Structure 1
Amino acid sequence: MPNEYATLPTPGALFFLLLCTCGPALLFGQVSDGFVLQSTDDGVSVSVREESNGDMSVRVSTEARAQVQGVGAVLDHAKGYSEWVHRCDGAYIVAGGQPDDYVFVSGIDMPFPFQDKEIVARVTQVVDSSGVLTRTITGSPHAIPATKGRDRPTVYNGEWIVRPLPDGRVHLQVTVRTDAGAGLPNWLRKEIMTGGPVKTVLNLRHRLEAA
């Protein structure tokens, strides 16, 4: 994969990657905004919602010992995605953006014989007066020329919300809607669509807390 665009002024921000305050834990299987809770394990909650045309939305949330600014710095460091984003085999920021408005590219390593994938999406982000970071991710598959040998999903939209908590922790929530699982066998679709986001958020939490 190409190197991250080095001349962007201190990029602060995925994939995505997504956070808002949740109330008391949902009972397993309870529906909220159309999302059905699938699991709560190791402090990570996962909910899914089937969409039209075979798309799926996944929502993952957890808490971590970190500051909002530190979370934003990790999310903005695209070159480091391969170290914590599940199946990422390289990522970079496309030239010409701004710290809070840019396009990123992230590769997804797929098992043989399936074709590797590539996410191209625009990130816009803002921190409000209460210190909440909101990152909006909009799929932009035509922002750069196609990469030979890579399948580029046409749907990839999401939101990260990082909310500071009073005890020096943050609440993280990521919601992603994508068609990346279309056409895959059920076992691989589940691994990509739900297992992957869980591993990614766990890896992010461990990375933040080890800093």
Structure 2
Amino acid sequence: MKYLALLITLVLGIPNASSYQNNNNDWRLELDREGVSVYLKKIEGFEIHGIKATIDIRATKKKLVSIINDVENYKSWVADCNHSALIVTENPSESVSHLKFDSPWPIQDRDVFFHRVLSESNDNQFSLTFTASSDYLIEESCCVRIKRAIGKFSIIEKKENLSQVIYEFVSDPGGNLPNWLVSYILTDSPYTTLSNLRELAENQVELSAN
């Protein structure tokens, strides 16, 4: 687990989630829409830029953690995800998930196995780090397997019923992708994911209050 946290730090080049908003020198703001900010940064060893997206959500950290831990329901809010399953639970803080993503015709769909690690710091900050793993099922003809990807969700409770979510991701999606699709992956996809997360969380909060 310590190795994975170090790997995330080295690849994404950021010391810790609490300093993201104060460490934007290397990040370029690419999209700022409806409360979602998406930044891009060149990551050594990857052809496609790394993503950092942020959003404030009117929900507790506990509520957001419960949604992010519900892998089976990812397809209801993660952009273009059409399949999500928890494959292996190694211990309470480590697991493996399998996700599939739609791609526009004629581009093949993608799938990935993620090794997931949950942690909570002394300052009550939650994080989920995930890295692509090739140690599981053989590749399927329907999908191109994503073999290199690193990401992180961080949740910081700013005050009662208001939390900041920070999403980081960099990957090699495999194959030759047209520029318009790369642009979508880097901006529209994280925007949609965080917008959907906000809608889901805030709707659940509203329902529980009634």
TM-score interval, normalised by the smaller of the two chains: 0.7 to 0.9
Q: Distance in 1 between the 2:175 and 2:38 partners?
A: 20
The one-letter code matched in structure 2 to 1:97 is E
Establish whether residue 46 from structure 1 lines up as the match of residue 38 from structure 2. Answer: yes
Task: State the number of aligned residues.
Answer: 188
By percentage of residues, which structure has more helix?
Answer: 2
- Corresponding position of 2:93: 100
Q: Distance in 1 between the 2:143 and 2:90 partners?
A: 23
- Corresponding position of 1:125: 118
Q: Distance in 1 between the 2:21 and 2:96 partners?
A: 33
**1:125 CA displacement:** 1.0
1:50-73 C-alpha deviation (Å, 9 max, x unpaired): 234413200000100111121111
Q: Secondary structure of the equivalent of 1:54? A: coil
The one-letter code matched in structure 2 to 1:138 is T
- Corresponding position of 1:27: none
Match among 41, 52, 55 for residue 48 of structure 2: 55
Establish whether residue 114 from structure 1 lines up as the match of residue 107 from structure 2. Answer: yes
| Contact 2:96 2:114 survives alignment (8 Å) | yes
**1:124 CA displacement:** 0.4
Q: Distance in 1 between the 2:142 and 2:27 partners?
A: 34
Q: Larger relative contact order (C-alpha < 8 A, sep ≥ 6)? A: 1
Matches within 5 A, 1:165-180: 165-180=158-173
Q: TM-score, normalised by structure 2?
A: 0.82
Query: Unaligned stretches of 5+ in structure 1?
Result: 1-17, 25-30
| Contact 1:39 1:46 survives alignment (8 Å) | yes
Q: Which moved more, 1:169-178 or 1:90-99?
A: 90-99
Match among 66, 78, 84 for residue 71 of structure 2: 78
The one-letter code matched in structure 2 to 1:81 is Y
Q: Distance in 2 between the 1:192 and 1:63 partners?
A: 21
1:32-58 C-alpha deviation (Å, 9 max, x unpaired): 252211121111111011234413200
1:94-132 C-alpha deviation (Å, 9 max, x unpaired): 134233100111100111111110021111011123221
Percent of residue pairs identical:
20
By percentage of residues, which structure has more strand?
Answer: 2
Establish whether residue 35 from structure 1 lines up as the match of residue 66 from structure 2. Answer: no
The one-letter code matched in structure 2 to 1:190 is S
Q: TM-score, normalised by structure 1?
A: 0.82
Establish whether residue 204 from structure 1 lines up as the match of residue 200 from structure 2. Answer: no
Establish whether residue 138 from structure 1 lines up as the match of residue 131 from structure 2. Answer: yes
Query: Unaligned stretches of 5+ in structure 2?
Result: 1-15, 205-210
- Corresponding position of 1:148: 141
